[in-house]
Amino acid sequence: MKPASFLRTAFFMFAGFAAPGHALDLGGMLQNLDVNKVVATGQKLSAATQEMPVDEEIGLGRELAARILGAAPPLADPAVQAYVNQVGRWLTLHTERPDLPWHFAVAATDDVGAFATPGGSVILTAGLLRLMRDENELAGVLAHEIAHVVHKHHVRAIMKRARAQLATELATELAAQYVAKNPLVTQALLGAGMSLYGSGLDQGDEYAADRAGMVIAARAGYDPTGLVYLLTTLDSLGVGDARMQLLSATHPPTRSRIDALAALADQLAGYTGSLQDGGRFAHIQESLLR
């Protein structure tokens, strides 16, 4: 992300903890900082968007996706990557944010997991793809991740964490600095983001993404119970499996997720999906196992 793209976010974030609602007495530590100017600018931006601006969301998401790919590099199989992008992009057309620069990737690892970063990057592990039976299940997982992006679960969690971190660090180290130019802001956002992928979102966001994902999959013509079926498979692997380590640490218990979807699955009973994939999913899985 260009450093300049953090400027507005920095104002916004600073306003977030310097505003009365988040009263924080920085006292003499900020004596050289034009607090009024920063707060005024931040409030103006905050009033205008109430959110991180989209270009900054995309930039932050790319930074985070590059780091996830640094730990789990992409699978070198163009057919698999193109296939997952086709399923994923079709799903995004049935959301409230079809115009983001969506892209989907399969990471070459046996671990079972999927990641979404702000702005439309979705990374799925080959280990998870191998557990699936059909394209409905793939659509279920991708739609869950897409729901996180559409409803900005990560952006909000990152902003919240970074604000808390900056409040402390600014008070001790940043007293005389012009806040938006300080690299701590950048570091706080990226640090908050990466720690989020190790510790997980609020459990409520995960349940919400399960539910919204089922609806998105059904909108796109898939059988929305694909996600439920895949979850029953993950339930067999269990928390003791090394491949499930990160997923187990970052998500509610699989059985709870399954049970939480029962009522919605009943409500969506009329949507059975119309998929006739002509063997394309099986072909992709074979190429994974070659």
Partner 1 sequence: MSPKPIQSEQSAASRAGRALFVALLAGAAIAVARAADEQPIDRGSTVRPATVFDFPDRSGKPLGQLPPNAPLEVYERQRLWLRVKPPAGLAGPAGWVQLMDMRMGFGVAPALAPAAAAPARAAPVPAADPGMFASFSRSVSGLLAGFQSRPSSYAGSNATIGIRGLTGAELNASSPNWQALAEVERYAMPPQQAQLFANAGGLVPQHILYPTSPAPAPAAQTSPFERPSPFGGRPR
**Euclidean distance between CA atoms 226 and 205, whole angstroms:** 20
Amino acid letter at 13?
M
Asked whether position 96 contacts partner 1 by CB under 8 A, the answer is yes
Asked whether position 108 contacts partner 1 by CB under 8 A, the answer is yes
Total chain residues near partner 1 (CB under 8 A): 109
Q: Out of 44, 48, 259, 283, name the contact with partner 1 by CB under 8 A.
A: 259
Which residue, 27 or 278, is less far from partner 1 as judged by CB? 278
Asked whether position 258 contacts partner 1 by CB under 8 A, the answer is yes
Asked whether position 149 contacts partner 1 by CB under 8 A, the answer is no
Phi, psi of 50 (to 5 degrees): 60, 5
Q: Out of 171, 208, 252, 256, name the contact with partner 1 by CB under 8 A.
A: 208
Asked whether position 264 contacts partner 1 by CB under 8 A, the answer is yes
Residue 121's beta-bridge partner residues? 103, 117
CA atoms within 13 A on the CB side of 214: 28
> Which of 265, 263, 203 has its CA nearest to residue 229?
265
Q: One symbol per residue from 212 to 251: x for binding partner 1 (CB under 8 A), - otherwise; what is it?
A: x--x--xxxxxx-x--xx--xx-xxxx-xxxx-xx--xx-
Q: One symbol per residue from 156 to 195: x for binding partner 1 (CB under 8 A), - otherwise; what is it?
A: --------------------------------------xx
Q: Which of residues 56-75 bind partner 1 (CB under 8 A)?
A: 62-63, 65-75
- Per the CB < 8 A criterion, the answer to whether 88 and 106 are in contact is no
Q: What is the C-alpha radius of gyration for the chain, rounded to an integer number of angstroms?
A: 21
18: number of Cβ within 10 Å: 23
Residue with the two structure tokens 């902003």: 159
